[in-house]
Structure 1
Amino acid sequence: MFSSSGNTKKLSLGDEINYITASLHHELNMIIMSRLPLGLKNPKAFHEGLTSFSILYSSFESALDSHIRNPSTPSRTRAILEHVYIPAVHRAATFEADLKKYSPSSEKDELTKGTPARAHVLNHIRRATTETPHVLLAYCHCLYMALFAGGQHIKAAIARSAVRKLDLAQHQTVPEEAKKSAPGIALFTFDGRSTKEEQELRQKLRDGIRQAEELLTPKERAEVLAESCEVFKLTRRLVDELDGICGTAPTVLVATKQYTESESPTVPSVEGQTSGRSWIKRLDRKRVETMVKGFVCVSFLVGYLMYLNISSPSAATEGLEGNGN
């Protein structure tokens, strides 16, 4: 809820989900992007990552499909879920396609079959979607919208990585088709649709969520919002476990810390605002250095311009004539 010109306006369900999960989303995004380069260099790590995320997507898609097809599903529940039941965005099959293209680099790199985090995610989604099936709206919004937005950046990174490897191996210009068929991008591709068609599909999902929220009771809406936070927590749990599986924890923790420090805004506390010296200490060091360098450069520039103006004969003459008048 927010106020505008004295009037209270209700946020749409999608916007409210984005609002309450903003910090969780930002943190998870930084963590995933810091690990992506490691996954692109290590087929086993990438395969493990795909496996973990495939459980997340296939679990809620299976629950959604089950409720839609089950004759005993209450009519109102079915009506809610039908608005977001869009087979074109389902990802279970695309995960399978991508997983087939990634395999361990050697026989020693055995793939992990089952883990505590994966089991927890599977059990949580089964329980939550059985008891409160309308929370599937949270999964549809958070996980599908992620593919339409940030997922496209990951897709581009995967394609660039595959192209570089192919180009270095063949010492030739890589054809455009090779970029489109790079291993691991099926997840981010929607049945060969163009960018415009993908945007239309995204809008269809967004409209479906708006229509579905009209059928929710206040209690059900609150449950969807709460589960939205759980979606990010479940995803974070999977990513944290991947660090242990792939043995990358020390490296990615340093990378994540550096990325977080450089991207997260610094907000001075009330105490800091009362003291100029303490507030400066809270600023990012790089920003302070940039400010100081900028100030020095401007000072030199102003001083140089003043020097030119004073030392210029024409300027001096104009100054004397001005004083004479």
Structure 2
Amino acid sequence: MIIMSRLPLGLKNPKAFHEGLTSFSVLYSTFEAALDSHIRNPSTPSRTRAILEHVYIPAIHRAATFEADLTKYSPLSEKDELTKGTPARSYVLNHIRRATTETPHVLLAYCHCLYMALFAGGQHIKAAIARSAVRKLDLAQHQAVPEEAKKSAPGVALFSFDGRSTKEEQELRQKLRDGIRQAEELLTPKERAEVLTEACEVFKLTRRLVDELDGLCGTAPSVLVATKQYTESESPTVPPVESQVSGRSWMRGWDKKRVEMAVKGFVCVSLMVGYFVYLNLTSQPVATEGLAEGNGN
């Protein structure tokens, strides 16, 4: 939500879009470099490599696509100088390097959160960028939009996967899902808790970058107010460790409140079923007696 709400600013201002791409390129390129390093380093423990190999899919890596998109965006004038290093970007870089060095299995959190975001909301951003680029062509009303104009719109390389079709992209997405599930089976309960904790941290890193971009690009106050309440109420939290037990993935994320609601619902349904069964049993003898009396008559 915080990214989509700020997208119109980037579509109108090339400098703002360039700043946004630069900030998020740090996020993606840093964790991808760490993943690549652990996979290629001979000293990486075999178990760690086995976990990470399940999510090591070069076709999804985005570092090169960020570079391709950044070359297509430049400020409108020389006075709009681009920002080089920033506190938030440095923080993100250092945090990822430290976390993935100490606990390399947390790279699963980055693969899941950031790649799945591209497969989902990223496609909406890609469509918005393409529409904006086409409008700037100022075509006549009756003139068809060239298909190449949509594909070559500046800024869409990030959301495209080597020219794959929509079906092929879905297959790539499923391959990542399967890889994450397979990697998850190799984690200990402690490692799983660390991955969940880092997944929450990914959202915090993203928010840190966006907050800084708001200052660099002058995000409108109305946009800030619109997203403040949402982000405060939807801050990700890690389930308690005792709930992170082995079993099916869809049960691991259940928190205490959801379990209580499920139990209450089950009790209510059970009482209703029991009540109807009771009515049926108590009314059966009466009906039988009446039938018998009728036959006697």
Fold in common (TM above 0.5): yes
| 1:24-63 superposed matches below 5 A | 30-63=1-34
Choose from 102, 107, 110 the match for 1:131: 102
Amino acid at match of 2:23: S
Structure 2 distance, partners of 1:243, 1:179, is 28
2:180 alignment counterpart: 209
1:185 alignment counterpart: 156
Amino acid at match of 2:42: P
Q: Is the 8 A contact 1:167 1:173 kept in 2?
A: no
| 1:113-128 superposed matches below 5 A | 113-128=84-99
| 1:140-179 superposed matches below 5 A | 140-168=111-139, 172-179=143-150
Aligned residues: 232
Please state how far the C-alpha of 1:246 moved relative to its aligned partner.
1.0
Matched, 1:253 2:215: no
Report the secondary structure of 2:163's partner residue.
coil
2:44 alignment counterpart: 73
Structure 2 distance, partners of 1:90, 1:218, is 28
Report the secondary structure of 1:125's partner residue.
helix
1:97 alignment counterpart: 68
Structure 2 distance, partners of 1:157, 1:51, is 19
Q: 1:134 and 1:257, CA in 2 relative to 1: closer, same or farther beyond 3 A?
A: closer
Deviations along 1:122-163, one digit per CA (max 9) or x if unpaired, are 000000000000000000000000000110000000000000
Structure 1 segments of 4+ aligned residues over 6 angstroms from their partners = none
Choose from 80, 83, 105 the match for 1:112: 83
Structure 2 distance, partners of 1:171, 1:90, is 39
Deviates more, 1:243-252 or 1:155-164: 243-252
Gaps of 5+ in 2: 235-297
Aligned-pair RMSD on alpha carbons? 1.9
Identity of aligned residues (%): 92
1:229 alignment counterpart: 200
Structure 1 distance, partners of 2:66, 2:187, is 31
Report the secondary structure of 2:22's partner residue.
helix
Q: Is the 8 A contact 1:147 1:188 kept in 2?
A: yes
Structure 2 distance, partners of 1:167, 1:234, is 38
Please state how far the C-alpha of 1:167 moved relative to its aligned partner.
2.7
Gaps of 5+ in 1: 1-29, 265-325
Structure 2 distance, partners of 1:255, 1:216, is 39
Deviations along 1:60-90, one digit per CA (max 9) or x if unpaired, are 0000000000000000000000000000000
Please state how far the C-alpha of 1:172 moved relative to its aligned partner.
4.5
Structure 2 distance, partners of 1:113, 1:144, is 25
Using CA pairs under 8 Å that are at least 6 residues apart, name the structure with larger relative contact order, 1 or 2: 1
